[in-house]
Amino acid sequence: MKKKNTNLTRREFIKDLFHKLLLLLLGSFVVSRFFKSAAAGYVWQIDPKKCVKCGRCATACVLTPSAVKCVHAFEICGYCNLCFGYFQPGALRLTADAENQLCPTGALQRRFVEDPFFEYTINEALCIGCGKCVKGCNLFGNGSLYLQVRHDRCKHCNECSIARVCAGRAFVRTPARKATFKNA
Amino acid sequence: MNTLQLPEEKRQRLLPFYLLVRNLAVVSGCFSSAVFIILVLSFWQFNAADPINDPHLPKLIEQIQAGNNDPAFLDSVRAYDQLIRKAHFTALAFTRFGAYLLLGGISLFLLFLKLAFELHRQLPRPDKFTEPEENQAKTRVLQYVILGFSFMLVLSAFLLPYFFSAPWFMPAQKKQARPVVPLPAEATWRRNWPAFRGYHGLGIAPTQNPPLDWDANSNKNILWKTKIPKPGFNSPLVWEDRVFLSGADQESRTVFCFDAATGNLRWQKSTSAGSAITLPKVSEDTGLAAPTMATDGRFVSAIFATGELLTLSLQGEVQWEKKLPRPDNHYGHASSLITYQGILLVQYDSAQNAKLMAFDLQTGRKLWEKKRQVEISWTSPIIAPTAAGDQLILTATPLVVSYQPGTGKVLWQLEEVIGGEIGPSPAFDQDLLFFINQYSRLACVDVARQQIKWETDHNLSDIPSPVASQGYLIVPTSFGKITCYDGASGAVHWEHRFETGFHASPIICGDKVYALDTSGIMRIFKLERTFIGLANPRIAEACAATPAFVDQRIFIRGDNHLYCIGSRQP
Amino acid sequence: MRKFRLLVLILVLAAPGWPAVATAAEERFPAPEFETQYEIPTPAHPHPRQDFFEYLDIAVLLAALGLAAFFAIKKRSRLGLFSLTFFSILYFGFFRHGCICPVGALQNVIFSFSGDYLLPLGVILFFALPLLFALFFGRVFCASVCPLGALQEAVIYKPIRLPQPIKHVLGLIPYLYLGLAVLFASTGSGFVICRFDPFVGFYRLSATPFMLLLGLGLLLTGIFIARPYCRFFCPYGVLLGIFSFFAKKHLSITPKECIHCRLCENACPVDAINPPSPRLYKTSKAQQIKHFGIFLAFVPLILATSGFGFSRLTDVLARQDRMVSLAERIHQEETNVATGNTLDSDAFRQEQTRVEDLYRQAARIRHKFYIGLWVFGLFFGLVISLKIIVLMQRPGRTDYTPDRFHCISCGRCMEYCPVQSDGSVTET
């Protein structure tokens, strides 16, 4: 009986030792990482320079429709009458008729401002992030349309399922504080 | 305490509730299943209404663009387009609604089911406790099962690669033994500028009569001038028709090759690490690219303050690259490279693990390495052609050591002869070795007897290196004074004070000395018993690098440009 | 030193984010000069969640863990734990949408050791707090805080007991999963735990059909085999188990002395109640030590076999890395093994990066996989060796006690115990 007791205490002792060891390990991890921590979290962000408009944003996101939408930087827009983001290549007439529009959901909308300028806005409720307009605008126009993650819709998945398949590897984890974009 | 263990009569009393809850559970379960099935079915429909990949629309639009503008047809196309858009968004809304419905249904189902279970729960009626007995067989089976399963797992991991036989590629590194590229002839060596301070690092130019006169403003005798893309304090090398130098910044450490005839950039090559490297802290006067490169006429090597060692062919292909341990050096690594019979010698006097390394220039194989018990130094090695054969001489606090350049064997060494943070490299002439450092001494060593012959502590230099030839020793300083000694006796022939100081080391061309000062003025004077100034031509740029002299031409690296100076042939 | 760290922090924080509108803009058409009063609109840039919510999450996690520990150890309330489970489903699940959960945070922690990635404070605490609580109170996180566990907790109706061998074999999977997750996170190839998270799709109300089916399947299984994901997959559970094993306090089945009534014997849905161990053994102590010694001699062999076996998977697994598969594809295209370009190879060629650099990078990643798989193999060998050694032990238990490694502190067993806290026994 006595022997058993010492056995027990030895077990208890080892357990206590490991308890302290694990506590030390966890503590030193937290402390060491704490001084190197990023205050706010990260958000996913597309680097428009690397984006190749492959169209996977529309299909790969865990959300339907995708959290990626087309965004318009009005300040570099040419307000063209013939907008390569808006019209089908080879469109016969520059009207808003369905057969002339490039956008598959009619999310890119066109409004006459003054001769010869037209304003193009995006209806985000309709935009599915396919990037067709972005491709057109970048190929022939000023490139004022670009795809970007909308942070109010994005679920901030730890591993972004679009980033995993993004052909241009344009998705970047960006510190949340930096990720407020303003136009120049 | 045990609220959920119900006695029998209470259970009976609660029976109607139980039945109600059970029925509710059944109803909500059926409802959820129905919603689920509808959702699954609509999933296919949803996929069918995909506005991006609709198969018919592009064909219809093609027809319109081909000229079919029948109003009825146009209307039908527009209606169809409208339809698929609408179908898409309706299906989306429907799915969303269904998901909420399903969620609600399942929550209710789980809740009722839980309640029903709780209302109908019976206590277990276990037998009396009996003393447990050892079941050896059972434990053994468990052990074997664990081991067996693990073994199967490891075995399948082992076998799996056989079923994925797609060949793995490796980076194109063909390990075929490359034929040894022959070394250039001795005469070729002597007419080029293969290292810091030229052939063997002795500071003696292979040419007798470079121009005495040039001017950057009127472009007189300036054959060409080229912008240097990246900063660095290392000196240019010249090999036949090519000029090499290196430059570095945060982004990359790069070797540049210019055409010696035109000054055009022939190629440039950076180390592979690029910006993905932690830069050492270096002082502004030293920078990341202070060490001068070296060539053996077949390959050209560069080392940087990051410890990156890059060897290229003269055409700019990477021959080999190494990352040496990061130099622990508070100003930045500055010792230049030197080559000897196809061997690259690297003086690496870091705060820890100071050493001298020798690499095969062609393959990059490390041939040998010698530990050095010295402090950090910024000097460069020279190869002294003594009467007893070539000796590699290195100075660093507190030692002056002579190595056999091929094997690294220590031939002789003088201990406790020099101190401080040494910058100037030694000079050699007629079996006499001169070494110097500020706040320490200038001393002359008889190499044959390995004894100090004479020494002085006047006008010591901290940056530029002395040069010796024809019995004279020229000692420049960073504050502008140049002293000419008699090499054998140590007697001062003359002293002369210039207005500006020197960082570049003076070079002897025949009977003339060319000393480039920090403001870009070349002080040219006679190698004589008295001071006879010959000319003071200048370029309009600060200079720190020692110029290169080849074939009646001078190559000067200013802070931003590379100049080629030579008399224009008609 | 502190100052230097701050500086580094600022530099790293300042590094990403593109100047202004970083489109690949090219001014082909000049900006119009409007004659009307038209004003150029500014596009809206919605902000991500406020920082406030990050801190709220931490506070809620801390409070939930504290409450769970209180219910499990002090109050001994199954009802409390169960209610907390519902709260977790609502808050950590439906409100916060699951990301980042402590289970996935494990990968961020590993990733932060190998790259330039700085751990956000929230992630550090989400990873460390459940472990800290496990080290003092057992796996109270699993009991009612984890949103993955909570969902499975809600569907346990008819838990059955798995045969011991099956239980032990399935119990090895979490170690493999842990090793795999660490391997992928440390090579920067991805976060597998998040990729194959079966339940987060429910919380987002959006998931791929495959993950949805996996999640549903696990929940249906969970009706009979309680908490299948927690017990047979969850890699974080391994860590929690280890920490819980050395816990200062732990939920106990009975508040006083065990009376060996056997009521709790089948109460545990996750089979984590250890019955009393035999008092008498046929084999002598000396014989036991001899067996133990023989086995110890075999341990190096087990480690080496396992390490070598798994290291053979290098190519198979390295190919899961994007850069490696891209390099392989480019190589196939360059050597005409594959015809035609993929979107990815086209995009790579647009970047003007040298092919050799890509190959070199791929080779570096592959080498990391090779080293990582050796470590993985050694780790797995060590795990099975320890498992065997533990089976050889003679625990010397006299009462029914929770298995501290596997017990998830759900508190069901406490309901079955007829012993009251004052020592009296309720008759049934």
Contact between C168 and B103 using a beta-carbon 8 Å cutoff: no
For residue C259, give the chain B residue with the closest CA. B129
Q: Taking 90 as the threshold, does the pLDDT of residue C355 lie above it?
A: no
* Distance separating alpha carbons of residues A119 and B188, to the nearest angstrom: 71
pLDDT band at B172 (very low <50, low <70, confident <90, very high): very low
pLDDT band at B126 (very low <50, low <70, confident <90, very high): confident
Q: Taking 70 as the threshold, does the pLDDT of residue B4 lie above it?
A: no
* Distance separating alpha carbons of residues C177 and B235, to the nearest angstrom: 57
Report the pLDDT value the prediction gives residue C27, as an integer from 0 to 100. 67
pLDDT band at B182 (very low <50, low <70, confident <90, very high): confident
Highest mean pLDDT: which of B59-73, B129-143, B377-391, C387-401?
B377-391
Which residue in B4, B128, B146 is closest to C168 by CB distance? B146
Contact between A99 and B51 using a beta-carbon 8 Å cutoff: no
Highest mean pLDDT: which of B89-103, B106-120, C53-67?
C53-67
Q: Taking 70 as the threshold, does the pLDDT of residue C11 lie above it?
A: no
* Distance separating alpha carbons of residues A143 and A49, to the nearest angstrom: 10
Q: Is A104 on the interface with B (CB under 8 A)?
A: yes
Type of residue found at C65 = L
pLDDT tens, C224-234? 999 999 999 99
Which residue in C205, C282, C356 is closest to B172 by CB distance? C356
pLDDT tens, A148-174? 999 889 988 899 999 999 999 999 888
Contact between C45 and A181 using a beta-carbon 8 Å cutoff: yes
Q: Taking 60 as the threshold, does the pLDDT of residue C420 lie above it?
A: yes
Q: Is C249 on the interface with B (CB under 8 A)?
A: no
* Distance separating alpha carbons of residues B303 and B531, to the nearest angstrom: 38
Contact between A113 and C36 using a beta-carbon 8 Å cutoff: yes
Which residue in B52, B65, B92 is closest to A104 by CB distance? B52
Q: What is the mean pLDDT of residues C150-164?
A: 90
Contact between A38 and C121 using a beta-carbon 8 Å cutoff: yes
Write out the H or E segment, with its range, that includes residue C401: strand C401-402
Report the pLDDT value the prediction gives residue A8, as an integer from 0 to 100. 60
Which positions in chain A touch C9 (Cβ < 8 Å)?
36, 38
Which positions in chain B touch C386 (Cβ < 8 Å)?
none
Which positions in chain C touch B169 (Cβ < 8 Å)?
327-328, 331, 359
What token pair was written down for A130? 């396919």
- Average pLDDT over chain B reads 87
Nearest Cα of chain B lies from the Cα of A88 at a distance, in angstroms, of: 9
* Distance separating alpha carbons of residues B442 and B427, to the nearest angstrom: 11
For residue C76, give the chain B residue with the closest CA. B1
Q: Provide the chain B residues 312-341 that lie in CB contact (below 8 A) with chain A.
A: none
Q: Taking 90 as the threshold, does the pLDDT of residue B336 lie above it?
A: yes
Rg (CA), chain C: 27
* Distance separating alpha carbons of residues C428 and B37, to the nearest angstrom: 45
Q: Is C398 on the interface with B (CB under 8 A)?
A: no
Q: Taking 50 as the threshold, does the pLDDT of residue B475 lie above it?
A: yes
Which positions in chain B touch A129 (Cβ < 8 Å)?
none
Q: Is C205 on the interface with B (CB under 8 A)?
A: yes
**Which residues make beta-bridge pairs with B523?**
B515
Which residue in C275, C387, C417 is closest to B132 by CB distance? C275
In the three-class reduction of DSSP (H, G, I as helix; E, B as strand; rest coil), residue B458 is classed as coil
Which residue in A64, A106, A130 is closest to B52 by CB distance? A130
Classify residue A91 as left (phi > 0), alpha (psi -120 to 50) or beta.
beta
pLDDT tens, C81-101? 999 999 999 999 999 887 789
Nearest CA among B273, B283, B225, B165 for reference residue B555: B225
Bigger pLDDT: C302 or C32?
C302
Contact between A75 and C16 using a beta-carbon 8 Å cutoff: no
Contacts of C296 (CB under 8 A, 6+ apart): none
Nearest Cα of chain B lies from the Cα of A148 at a distance, in angstroms, of: 19
* Distance separating alpha carbons of residues A154 and A176, to the nearest angstrom: 12
Q: What are the φ/ψ torsions at residue C247 (nearest 5 degrees)?
A: -65, 150
pLDDT band at B6 (very low <50, low <70, confident <90, very high): low
Report the pLDDT value the prediction gives residue C21, as an integer from 0 to 100. 39
Which positions in chain B touch A153 (Cβ < 8 Å)?
none
* Distance separating alpha carbons of residues C393 and C386, to the nearest angstrom: 11
B-C C-beta contacts closer than 8 Å: 137
Q: What is the mean pLDDT of residues B485-503?
A: 91
Q: Is A128 on the interface with B (CB under 8 A)?
A: yes
pLDDT tens, B241-297? 999 999 998 888 999 999 999 999 999 998 887 776 778 888 888 889 999 999 998
Best probe of the B interface among C262, C328, C355, by most B CBs < 10 A, is C262
Contact between C205 and B100 using a beta-carbon 8 Å cutoff: yes
pLDDT tens, B535-562? 999 888 888 899 999 988 999 999 899 9
Highest mean pLDDT: which of A5-19, B548-562, C227-241, C319-333?
C227-241
Contacts of A184 (CB under 8 A, 6+ apart): A75, C19, C20, C21
Q: Is B82 on the interface with A (CB under 8 A)?
A: yes
Best probe of the A interface among C29, C50, C323, by most A CBs < 10 A, is C29
pLDDT tens, A69-102? 999 999 889 898 899 999 988 888 888 888 889 9
Which residue in C165, C209, C309 is closest to B157 by CB distance? C309
- Domain ranges for chain A: 1-37, 42-178
The percent of residues above 90 in pLDDT, for chain B, comes to 43
Which residue in B3, B124, B132 is closest to C277 by CB distance? B132
Contact between C48 and A43 using a beta-carbon 8 Å cutoff: yes
A-B C-beta contacts closer than 8 Å: 39
Report the pLDDT value the prediction gives residue A39, as an integer from 0 to 100. 66
Q: Taking 60 as the threshold, does the pLDDT of residue B530 lie above it?
A: yes
* Distance separating alpha carbons of residues B404 and B395, to the nearest angstrom: 15
pLDDT tens, B413-444? 988 888 888 989 999 998 899 999 888 889 99
* Distance separating alpha carbons of residues C249 and C251, to the nearest angstrom: 7
Nearest CA among A138, A91, A71 for reference residue C29: A138
* Distance separating alpha carbons of residues B418 and B435, to the nearest angstrom: 8
Q: Taking 70 as the threshold, does the pLDDT of residue B178 lie above it?
A: no
Contact between B154 and C309 using a beta-carbon 8 Å cutoff: yes
Q: Provide the chain B residues 51-70 that lie in CB contact (below 8 A) with chain A.
A: 51-52, 54, 60-61, 64-65, 69
Q: Is A64 on the interface with B (CB under 8 A)?
A: yes
pLDDT band at B173 (very low <50, low <70, confident <90, very high): very low
Best probe of the B interface among C85, C167, C169, by most B CBs < 10 A, is C169
Q: Is B92 on the interface with A (CB under 8 A)?
A: yes
For residue B117, give the chain C residue with the closest CA. C157
Q: Taking 60 as the threshold, does the pLDDT of residue C5 lie above it?
A: no
Q: By 3-state DSSP, what share of chain C in percent is helix, strand and coil, each rounded to 5? A: 60, 0, 40
pLDDT band at B180 (very low <50, low <70, confident <90, very high): confident
Report the pLDDT value the prediction gives residue B174, as an integer from 0 to 100. 47
